Amino acid sequence: MEPPGEKPGETGGLRITPQLLKSRTGEFALESILLLKLRGLGLADLGCLGECLGLEWLDLSGNALTQLGPLASLHQLAVLNVSNNRLTGLEPLAACENLQSLNAAGNLLATPGQLQCLAGLQCLEYLRLRDPLARLSNPLCTSPSYWATVRELLPGLKVIDGERVTGHGSELYQLCRDLDSSLRPSSSPGPRATEAQPWVEPGYWESWPSRSSSILEEACRQFQDTLQECRDLDRQASDSLAQAEQALSPAGTTSSFVF
């Protein structure tokens, strides 16, 4: 039996229907939907999703999508997650002029040319094509020149695959990438890398014997005196509280209050 509001798509998956969108969002008019999460529903056909003209945030991750045609009409869309699908192209997104963040990790994008459609998106700053933590990637990410190619093709990006490439903090990520490159074993002939040397002289981290200091000794003595005064005050306060409790006990009288 089919779930309510969903119909089989052309590839055997499910298709988005107005009933599905209304049940998910509670909105009566599709144009009023601003945020939509349709993760992991087995969707293969976007159906009427293109009618959600006001949509700004959309999560379609973990489905069975092979194309994004209906998204071409979503001109207000700013954040899109289509990770873990079966996409071989992103061409419809060229019309999403307000798109700022795109996660397309875990698809079938094989060549940098399939990203050319994103070059005209002036607002696009965040792009993810691989996600090591989720073990998602694309075939094009295996190329040694992947990183440089994406940066050249989309120079307006600030963050690629979660790593900042421009602005504050980008130098740190670049340093890490350079270190990774330098630590990889090289198959090309040539002189071997210089053996790593200690940063400090031998014995630098060994503990040194403490040195006597009259100032330090005086400070310790004053601290001990202050600590003893605190103990005396605490004892006096405890005695006063004990006397008060005894005076307030049923056996006592109002004339026996002694502090």
Q: Let me know if 110 is exposed, middle or buried by CB neighbors in 10 A (0-12, 13-18, 19+).
A: middle
Q: Which residue has the higher pLDDT, 89 or 190?
A: 89
Residues 188, 156 contacting (CB under 8 angstroms): no
Predicted structure pTM score:
0.64
Q: Is the dihedral of CA 202, 207, 209, 211 positive or negative?
A: positive
**Which CATH superfamily hosts domain 14-181?**
Ribonuclease Inhibitor (3.80.10.10)
Confidence of residue 244 (pLDDT cuts 50, 70, 90): confident
Task: Output helix, strand, coil percentages for the chain, rounded to the nearest 5.
Answer: 35, 10, 50
Segment 198-208 mean pLDDT:
57
* pLDDT-derived band at 255, boundaries 50, 70, 90: very low
